Amino acid sequence: MNQMTSETLMPDKAAGPGNSVSTEETHDLISSDKVDGTAVYSTDGEKLGHVDHLMIGKRSGQVKYAVMSFGGFLGLGESYHPIPWDALDYDTQRDGYVVAIDKAKLHDAPYYTGDSPPVFDANFGAGLYRYYGVFY
Amino acid sequence: MNQMTSETLMPDKAAGPGNSVSTEETHDLISSDKVDGTAVYSTDGEKLGHVDHLMIGKRSGQVKYAVMSFGGFLGLGESYHPIPWDALDYDTQRDGYVVAIDKAKLHDAPYYTGDSPPVFDANFGAGLYRYYGVFY
């Protein structure tokens, strides 16, 4: 077994150009155990809440929903808003996500509380994607 | 704000057929905070270790690496093996992943220990994908 060294990790690093690209890619990945807490903003830059967890396809490895927690937002206790992945844009400057719907519509979006998670099935997904106006 | 009900969650459930599809999709998703501990098997069915965390594209939402922990495997302490996502197959019966390389090659695969994580940059990725024989 070879423990990773700079040589085994970055076989082409000596080639020189491309380091900035490498840095970007590094910053473009996030660990599944660090995603909790990533900020979510409205389109006008207001911080709305944070990502609690992601729902990921076991086979595809594709994130399908980001489940957001809004905490005190709207005067509720702990509530979870599943957002279709395609309804989120990643903002590199803020290192957070932006929901491309207005606050009133987010206010009316489906949510659940900690003791009653939904069944994330096809009908659920289709309804949610329809609500957020993205293709299922 | 509408708390989710069976009606808002599954608007088309009453349609009847398709429930088995819905169930499959539910089982096909995993939460990012539950992925830690998912078993990883060799192609001959031996349990090798488990997923410690996933490295996910912040923008794409696509899992790029599963970082595995093998624990006592090979007599090492806590060690982490990043595996290209495309080198893993999901086994529905075992509800775990299968690494499509033989044990000797896995033995020689790049790894790191807890105190020296690699930089997950483009060169790192290219080298690792090459090692596992999958397209980067």
pLDDT tens, B50-71? 999 999 999 999 999 999 987 6
The residues with which A22 forms a beta bridge, in sequence order, are none
Instruction: Give alpha helix (H) positions in A1-136.
Output: 6-9, 19-27, 103-107, 122-132
Closest residue to B10, CB basis, from A32, A57, A124? A124
Quick check: A85 pLDDT over 90?
yes
Segment B43-55 mean pLDDT? 91
- CB spacing of B110 vs A9 below 8 angstroms: yes
Q: Classify the complex by whether its ipTM is higher than 0.90, answering yes or no.
A: no
Would you say the C-alpha torsion B128, B69, A57, A94 has a positive or negative sign?
negative
Q: Are B86 and A60 in contact (CB under 8 A)?
A: no
Quick check: A121 pLDDT over 90?
no
The rounded mean pLDDT for chain B is 78
Domains of chain B: 29-132 (2.30.30.240)
Q: Which residue has the higher pLDDT, B56 or A16?
A: B56
Classify B56 as helix, strand or coil: strand
Q: Is A53 on the interface with B (CB under 8 A)?
A: yes
Q: Tell me, what's the pLDDT at A66?
A: 96
Stated pTM of the model: 0.79
- CB spacing of B111 vs A3 below 8 angstroms: yes
Segment B80-108 mean pLDDT? 89
Cα-Cα-Cα-Cα torsion A74, A75, A76, A78, nearest 10 degrees, comes to 90
Q: Is A23 on the interface with B (CB under 8 A)?
A: yes
Q: Tell me, what's the pLDDT at A30?
A: 93
Q: Are A125 and A64 in contact (CB under 8 A)?
A: yes
Q: Are A29 and B64 in contact (CB under 8 A)?
A: yes
Residue A125 structure tokens: 């997904």
